A and B are shown apart, each in its own frame.
Chain A
Amino acid sequence: MGQVLVVTSGKGGVGKTTTTANIGTGLAAAGHKVVLIDTDIGLRNLDVVLGLENRIVFDIVDVVNGNCRLRQALIRDKRFEGLHLLPAAQTKDKTAVNPEQMLKLSAELKKEFDYIIIDCPAGIEQGFRNAIAGAEKAIVVTTPEVSAVRDADRIIGLLEAADLREPKLIINRIRPKMVRQGDMMSIDDIIDILAVDLLGIIPEDDMIVVTTNRGEAVVLDQNTRSGQAYRNIVRRILGEEVPIINLDEEEEGFFKKLRRIIGLK
């Protein structure tokens, strides 16, 4: 039986979709059968982040309405045989799916996949309700900003009220230099305030934008910190104990960068 995880945040744009794509790709790279569900109906994103936008025929609304079989709507990843996407519908709205249907869908997918990862839309309305309905565990993504942490706190409360206890936190877009200068809240500050377990931290990294431009996942890039950070998160999900990445180590210098660019590693 597979495990159903939801990736949520409250505040928009903090990195849910990026995180879903990278954790999913990382788990698939480790040989697991994974399906990613985009529940952001009307604002489909996960397909382009994964580089699968040209292959969509059916979507999640087609599946729950019985317009197609579940199998037909699942899109297989270009690289990993074990990785699949169930895309959101682009032209409908969030009421096109309800929590009961999501519950049924997760139950079905659990029979076949090891990990079902649900990318949640921003907000706390129906889209959120749908996304968490079938989930067994929650990952909350935040950034080190007052508004994002505040929204994360609200989401943690709502998750607990929905019996999704002990959500795990990912702090994204950390800028080590600003933290050192005292101009950005640190990991400890945020954990202290939210009182939840840390699943991992991701630095602010241009390579996330670059890999996303290409429809690739940074988790596969051996030379980037954010890739390393996502690989660590994947290993933690798989039950390994991995220390939190130290972002204070010297940032990539000019020559290392150059060597990477010209492919000398």
Chain B
Amino acid sequence: MGLSKLGEGETDLLDFITKLFGKEYKSKNIAKERLKLVLVHDRASISPQMLESLKLDLIKVISNYMVIDDENLEVSLDSSGNTVALVANIPVKGMKRTAG
């Protein structure tokens, strides 16, 4: 932007004008918004180890009720837009008679 060409007084004036136009022009608000957005996605990630142990736990619990195909079980975190969902696809081979 060639700001370096401006003198001290001129940058002060620019500061003043920027302030007049208020909130959205303040760089800290931009920083905050960007940070919040990037964290929504960062926080939606799960380590492979954690995903693996979640899978094992799921298999353990569900196996109390039904016979599942644990080879083809898929679990993932889906973060699209601003929401995050745990998506699991668990093929069921059969039901247990003594479930409950």
Tell whether A185 pairs with B36 under 8 Å between CB atoms, given A150-B42, A154-B42, A161-B47. Answer: no
Bound complex: CA A184 to CA B35 (Å): 13
For A48, list chain B residues within 8 Å (CB). none
Tell whether A185 pairs with B42 under 8 Å between CB atoms, given A146-B34, A150-B35. Answer: no
Please state if B43 and A193 are interface contacts (CB–CB under 8 Å): no
The 0/1 profile, CB within 8 Å of A marked 1, for residues 21-48 of chain B is 0000011110110111011001100010
For B15, list chain A residues within 8 Å (CB). 181
Bound complex: CA A146 to CA B31 (Å): 6
For A146, list chain B residues within 8 Å (CB). 31, 34-35, 38
Bound complex: CA A153 to CA B28 (Å): 18
* Nearest opposing residue in chain B for A186, CB measure: B28
Q: Is B50 an interface residue (CB 8 A)?
A: yes
Bound complex: CA A49 to CA B22 (Å): 43
For A153, list chain B residues within 8 Å (CB). 39, 42-43
Please state if A182 and B29 are interface contacts (CB–CB under 8 Å): yes
Least distance between B6 CB and chain A CB atoms (Å): 17
Interface residues on chain B, number (Cβ under 8 Å): 17
Please state if B35 and A183 are interface contacts (CB–CB under 8 Å): no
Tell whether A193 pairs with B35 under 8 Å between CB atoms, given A154-B42, A161-B47. Answer: yes
Bound complex: CA A224 to CA B45 (Å): 42
Identify whether the interface residues of A are mostly helix, strand, loop, or mixed. helix
Please state if B50 and A161 are interface contacts (CB–CB under 8 Å): yes
For B39, list chain A residues within 8 Å (CB). 150, 153, 193
Least distance between A254 CB and chain B CB atoms (Å): 19
Please state if A150 and B26 are interface contacts (CB–CB under 8 Å): no
Please state if A182 and B27 are interface contacts (CB–CB under 8 Å): yes
For A189, list chain B residues within 8 Å (CB). 28, 32
For A183, list chain B residues within 8 Å (CB). 26-28
* Nearest opposing residue in chain B for A194, CB measure: B39
Q: Is A157 an interface residue (CB 8 A)?
A: yes
A127-169 interface (Cβ within 8 A of B): 145-146, 149-150, 153-154, 157, 161
Please state if A150 and B32 are interface contacts (CB–CB under 8 Å): no
Bound complex: CA A204 to CA B7 (Å): 25
For A157, list chain B residues within 8 Å (CB). 43
Bound complex: CA A185 to CA B39 (Å): 16
28 interchain pairs (CB within 8 A)? A146-B34, A149-B35, A150-B35, A150-B38, A150-B42, A153-B39, A153-B43, A161-B50, A179-B28, A181-B15, A181-B19, A181-B26, A182-B26, A182-B27, A182-B28, A182-B29, A183-B26, A183-B27, A183-B28, A184-B28, A185-B28, A185-B31, A185-B32, A185-B35, A189-B28, A193-B32, A193-B35, A193-B36
B binding-site residues for A, Cβ under 8 Å:
15, 19, 26-29, 31-32, 34-36, 38-39, 42-43, 47, 50
The 7 A-B pairs at the shortest CB distance, nearest first, are namely A182-B26, A183-B27, A185-B28, A146-B35, A146-B31, A182-B28, A189-B32
A binding-site residues for B, Cβ under 8 Å:
145-146, 149-150, 153-154, 157, 161, 179, 181-186, 189, 193
